[in-house]
Amino acid sequence: MLNLERLRTLDALARHGSVSGAAEGLHVTTSAVSQQMSKLEREVGQRLLAKNGRGVRLTDAGRLLAEHAGRILSQVELAQSDLEAQRGRVVGELRMAAFPTAARGLFPAALAALRADHPALRVRSSELEPETGVAGVARGDLDLAVALDWYNKPMPVPGGLVKAPLLDDPAEVAMPAGHPLAGRDEVDLGEFADDEWITWGEGEFCHEWLMYTLRSQGIEPIVGHRAGETHTQLGLVAAGLGVCIAPLLGRHPMPAGVVTVPLKQRVRRHVYVLWREDADRRPSIRAAVQALRGAARAVVQ
């Protein structure tokens, strides 16, 4: 009879494409992954892995069994969800992630509420870029993630996921207090054609959004500095090193010497939480969404 944990290991290998990736996703060592696969090969009497340079690849038998493993694990998730729903108790473990400003702006209040209301629930949280969090939920490495769309550029979401809105997060331009536009009631992106921008890391969703948005306004961005965290960006603005986009969520406290001015374009981020369809009935998922919505209401009040 096939062992469920070994099937889970095979499924992780198929999804991550490497032993190290599977080990990271399963929170085990690489040797544990190798041992589980060796045992699974003995159980089925066929080779499931073959060497591929310094790594490994799935054999035809491995790919075939991995397809079945994915369906089996999805059914197990559904069964667990139904059992949890029947008990109606918020128990077990919940793995959550959020992009940096949401982790700072929403997680403290939401996780504290979960601990107070549901002490039998063990929550593990992490700070991840939105695209990484979405991929983690799709792969099954995470139960729930807080992600975002920009008003003019949605983030692609894989099939099989459910999402619920949390808040609309207005964003302004942050600039040094001595900037010529600092006293304005509102500004246009086109007025920053000659400014240096402080932006996110190359390839990150928010950085790509900023480049797309500025170029759509006929501006070829001058990127002076990169920082993944809003407060690092604002610190660079305070030093007079450029301007940046400053969403409301996670912005405060504002460093001295920095002014924010609304944009005529009314730039907003749509912040939402997502999870897998097959976990939709889990009381722990519903409790976490409720806690996150409560934290979001406090932000926008």
| 193, two tokens | 């054609």
Work out the burial of residue 275: count CB atoms within 10 Å of its CB; fewer than 13 is exposed, 13-18 middle, 19 or more buried: buried
Angstrom distance (rounded) from CA 100 to CA 107: 10
Q: Measuring CA to CA, how many Å separate 122 from each of 129, 137, 139, 290?
A: 23, 18, 21, 16
Q: In a structure prediction context, what are the per-residue pLDDT tens digits for the chain, which is 301 residues long?
A: 788 888 888 888 888 888 888 888 777 888 888 898 899 989 889 899 888 877 788 999 989 998 898 888 878 877 776 676 656 678 888 999 999 999 999 999 999 999 999 998 999 999 999 988 998 888 788 999 999 999 999 988 888 899 999 999 999 999 999 999 999 999 999 899 999 999 998 888 999 999 999 998 888 999 999 998 889 999 999 999 999 999 988 788 889 999 999 999 889 999 999 999 888 888 899 999 999 999 999 987 7
pLDDT for res 85:
62
Note the pTM of the prediction, 2 decimals.
Answer: 0.73
DSSP string, 90-124: --EEEEEEE-HHHHHHTHHHHHHHHHHH-TTEEEE
Angstrom distance (rounded) from CA 162 to CA 190: 37
Angstrom distance (rounded) from CA 195 to CA 180: 11
In single-letter form, the type of residue at position 256 comes to A
CB-based burial, 284-293: b 16+ in 10 Å, e otherwise: bbebbbebbb
Q: Which is nearest to 299 in space by CA: 263, 256, 251, 254?
A: 251
Determine how β-strand 49-52 pairs with β-strand 55-58.
antiparallel
**Coil, helix or strand at residue 15:** helix
pLDDT for res 69:
86
Q: Which residues pair with 169 in a beta bridge?
A: 269
